[in-house]
């Protein structure tokens, strides 16, 4: 239900509010002057709307869709020419290297490398079978070299336990010797002076 006695704000009243606010008057003082000069009762929140900047209508611009070219893949998956050395390398390295290492070494997608590995492994062609045999020979040589490099034989649990106990006893005896050396060494130096 609308109030019948509502008076619209005149431009003169609005200008008065704006000028008073620019002079630095407080909202409450402006309300009192409005009541005296224009006989309008109002609140500070009501008159603050005349000083606040009005919201400007938002302009909607027409958006033109740009055709975004797909990024070029780091490794082209459509390359299929593998050299015999690369095929042998894939057969030897595939079980041992990580995915990232394989990508970096051969500069191809891992899926392509895995597919090539499976194609060679599952093939019944004589050239591919020879390749698999050569790869197994290289892997066997690598394992033999690794076994030669291992200096200590692998010890069982009981041997490792015995070694730990001996090491603990040796550390305990060394600690006692160090303590005695500092104690008696200090006594000897004091007595010599």
Digit-coded pLDDT (tens) for 21-31: 888 888 888 88
Q: Of 161 and 192, which is predicted with more confidence?
A: 161
pLDDT at residue 186 in the model? 64
pLDDT at residue 4 in the model? 59
Is the model's pLDDT at 34 over the cut of 80? yes
Is the model's pLDDT at 149 over the cut of 80? no
pLDDT at residue 42 in the model? 83
User: Virtual CA dihedral for 24, 29, 32, 34, nearest 10 degrees?
Assistant: 10
For range 44-62, the mean pLDDT: 71
Query: What are the tens digits of pLDDT across the range 105-125?
Result: 888 888 988 988 998 888 888
- pTM, rounded to two decimals: 0.39
Query: What are the tens digits of pLDDT across the range 85-106?
Result: 888 888 888 888 888 898 888 8
The answer to whether 38 touches 9, Cβ cutoff 8 Å, is no
pLDDT at residue 193 in the model? 45
Q: What is the DSSP string of 130-186?
A: HHHHHHHHHHHHHHHHHHHH--SPPP-HHHHHHHHHHHHHHHHHHHHHHHHHHHHHH
């Amino acid at each position: 239900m609308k109030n019948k006695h509502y008076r619209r704000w005149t431009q003169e009243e609005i200008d008065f509010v704006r000028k008073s606010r620019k002079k630095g008057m407080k909202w409450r003082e402006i309300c009192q002057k409005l009541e005296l000069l224009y006989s309008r009762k109002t609140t500070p929140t009501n008159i603050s709307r005349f000083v606040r900047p009005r919201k400007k209508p938002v302009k909607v611009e027409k958006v033109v869709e740009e055709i975004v070219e797909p990024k070029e893949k780091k490794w082209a998956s459509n390359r299929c020419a593998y050299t015999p050395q690369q095929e042998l390398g894939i057969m030897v390295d595939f079980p041992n290297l990580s995915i990232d290492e394989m990508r970096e070494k051969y500069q191809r997608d891992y899926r392509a490398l895995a597919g090539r590995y499976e194609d060679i492994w599952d093939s019944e062609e004589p050239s591919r079978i020879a390749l698999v045999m050569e790869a197994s020979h290289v892997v066997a040589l690598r394992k033999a070299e690794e076994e030669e490099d291992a200096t200590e034989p692998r010890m069982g649990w009981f041997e490792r336990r015995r070694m730990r106990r001996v090491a603990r006893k040796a550390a305990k005896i060394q600690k006692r010797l160090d303590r005695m050396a500092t104690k008696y060494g200090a006594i000897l130096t004091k007595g010599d002076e």
